[in-house]
Amino acid sequence: MNTKPPQDLVTLNKASSMFHPHSRKIEIPRSVSHIGPSCFEGNHYMIELNIPDSVRVIEDSAFKDCINLEKVRFFGESPISVIPQSCFSGCTSLKEFQIQEEVAIIKANAFRGCVALSHLFIPKGVCSIEAGAFDGWNSNQTIETERTFRFGIVCKAKIMSLSAELETDTSEQVFEYCPGQFMYAVLCKCGHVGRDRYMPIWFPVIASSKREAAEIAREIPRVKHGHKDAIQELKQICLNEYLDLERRNREDPYLHAKSKYQLSNQKEEIMKRTLPETESRFY
C-alpha cells in the first residue's frame, strides 16, 4: 500500500552525504523529490538502486558510469516523465530496468553502452527518443516498442515494433514545451447541454505530468468539474498536435458562446455533437 510522501521534500545532490560511500544497495528515501545532476556518477560500489514515487525529477548524468549497477527498481506510481541525458550511460552491468508508464521522453545517451540489458520494452507513452539514447547496444539485445522510432546506426540492437499500423516517425518532433513541462490532450465532459447529456471536448494542456494535466483540465470553464468521470481520456502530444488543437478550439462555436442565448441559436448543430451520460464511446 502506497503512503503519501512527506511534505518537506528535498533535492539529493551529493549522494555521499546521505549514504555510506561503499553501499551496495541504495534505497532513495521518501524525503527526496529531486535527484541532482551527476549525483551518483562514477559510483563503482552500487549494485542495486530503489527509487520511490516521491522522486519526481532525475537530472542529467545522475547514474552515469555506475559500472556495477545491475538493478534499478521504481516503487509506487512513479511520476518521472523524462529519463534525462546520459542518466544511465556507461552502466555496463545493468540487467534489470523497466521504463515506467509515465515516461514520455528518453533523452540523448540515456542508455548509452548499457550492453547487459538483454531486453527492454518501451511503452506507448514514450513519445520521443533523442539521438544516441541507445548507442552502443549490440545485436544480442532487443528493444520492443509500441511506436516507430529511429535509433541510429550506432545502435545494433534488434528493434521489434508492436504497432499494428504504420505510425509517423515522432523522434524529431517536439514534445517538451519547456524544461519539465509537456503538452497533453485531455478529453473532458463539458456541460450546458442538458443534465442527461454532455459535450466531449479535447483540451490542450501544458503540465509537468499526466496527473497535473488532469487537475488543470478539470478547472477549465465548461468542464463538468464535480463529475468523478469528467476526465475521459488523456494523452501526451507533440507541438504540432498541440497547436492544431488550440486552433480547433478557437474556432469551436460551443466553446465561445458567451450566453445561453448564443448557445440556443446553434442548438441544433451543437446537440449533434453531444452524447448521453450513459454513452461509453468517445471520439
Divide the 283 residues of the chain into consecutive groups of 10 and give the mean pLDDT of each group. Answer: 51 75 92 93 96 94 97 92 96 96 92 96 89 93 88 87 53 70 92 85 92 93 88 89 89 77 68 78 40
The pLDDT of residue 151 is: 85
The backbone region for 222, taken as left when phi is positive above 0, alpha when psi lies in -120 to 50, beta otherwise, is left
The pLDDT of residue 258 is: 67
* Alpha-helix residue ranges (DSSP H) falling in the chain: 210-218, 239-250, 253-256, 260-265, 267-271
Q: Nine-digit cell at 171?
A: 523522434
The pLDDT of residue 1 is: 37
In whole angstroms, how far apart are CA 19 and each of 8, 23, 41, 45, 50?
Answer: 20, 7, 14, 12, 13
CB 67, CB 44: distance < 8 Å: yes
Structural domain spans, the chain: 1-172, 176-276
**Coil, strand or helix: which one is 241?**
helix
Residue 238 dihedral angles phi and psi, to the nearest 5° = -90, 175
The pLDDT of residue 255 is: 86
Give the amino acid at 25: K
**Biggest distance spanned by C-alpha atoms of the chain:** 73
CB 222, CB 231: distance < 8 Å: no
Q: What is the DSSP string of 151-165?
A: --TT--SEEEE--SS
CB atoms within 10 A of CB 12: 22
In whole angstroms, how far apart are CA 195 and each of 192, 199, 203, 277?
Answer: 8, 11, 21, 8
Residues 6+ apart with CB under 8 A from 233: 186, 187, 282
Fold category of 1-172 in CATH: 3.80.10
The pLDDT of residue 2 is: 43
The pLDDT of residue 147 is: 82
